[in-house]
Amino acid sequence: MTKKELIEQIRLKKSVLCVGLDTDLSKIPSHLLQEADPMFAFNKAIIDATKEYTVSYKINTAFYEAYGEKGWQSLAKTLDYIPKNIFTIADAKRGDIGNTSTQYAKTFFETYNFDSVTIAPYMGKDSVVPFLQFEGKWGIVLGITSNEGSLDFQHLIADGKPLYEHVLNKVSTWGTTDNIMFVVGATRKEQLAKVRSICPDHFFLIPGVGAQGGDVATVCENTMNKDAGILINVSRGVIYVSNGLDFAEKAGEAAQQYQQEMAVYL
């Protein structure tokens, strides 16, 4: 999906919602465990209930890889079921030497045909650039995250600036605003405006809203640009609102509530 197409969907739906399909068999409604493919049955119902309100789905591959071949089959079926006008993210956080990164890129852009994949940039340029060679595809690079361990490295001062600032500045020169996004954690509110000032025109994938403590208003007010420029990911706050027979209905209601909060800024 191109940047223009993504912006069109954001404007059409008045939403920057990205629903995270972090599907955990220990958390889905128990009645679905009788299905031939419980993960896909859950995802299908969630997608049906939320697709009107979301512009993106993020599939965290770890939850599928853990189940081996069956998990990958569930992932593929889920990806195929997502409407083609909705932006898809493989949350895989890959990053390796160039020829290995090329194979990772082929996995998620050719074999599975995702629109984007998350990338860990620690190994530098040759680990990121291979993902940027596919037309209409995106690399979503870890910029600044909101987990406790982010303090171990991302905020260390190097040449007078936190390391994450060097990452944002350097990585943004390796591609364009049409093929690079950054992961920017929502729970560190004081950093949002700073990161936007460093990368004024890039899209951000912003996790941390909902269960992790971030809120839509703070994110939108500090990070939106002329193109909207953000995708706000919510996982638990949508897909696990209920674990009963009404799980899909409740997920749809939660997605609609987030969309309505976002529409104010669009």
- Using the CB atoms, write b or e for 208-243: b if 16+ within 10 Å: bbbebebbbeebbebbbeebbbbbbbbbebbbbbee
Asked if 25 and 64 touch (Cβ cutoff 8 Å), the reply is no
Q: Is 106 a catalytic site residue?
A: no
Q: What is the pLDDT of residues 34-76, one digit of tens each?
A: 999 999 999 999 999 999 999 999 999 999 999 999 999 999 9
Which of the residues 93, 189, 194, 250 is marked catalytic?
A: 93
Q: Does residue 122 carry a pLDDT above 90? A: yes
Instruction: Provide the pLDDT for residue 212.
Output: 65
What is the secondary structure of 121-163 as a DSSP string? -TT-HHHHGGGGSSTT-EEEEEEE--STTHHHHTT-EETTEEH
Asked whether 198 and 169 are in contact (CB, 8 A), the reply is yes
The C-alpha atoms of residue 15 and residue 2 are separated, in whole angstroms, by 17
Beta bridge partners of 120: none
Q: How confident is the model at residue 177 (pLDDT cuts 50, 70, 90)?
A: very high
Burial annotation 142-154 (CB, 10 A radius, 16+ → b, else e) = bbbbbeeebeeeb
| CATH architecture of the domain formed by 3-263 | Alpha-Beta Barrel (3.20)
- Of the chain, the end-to-end C-alpha distance in Å amounts to 21
The model's pTM: 0.96
What is the per-residue DSSP string for 94-119?
E--SHHHHHHHHHIIIIIS--SEEEE
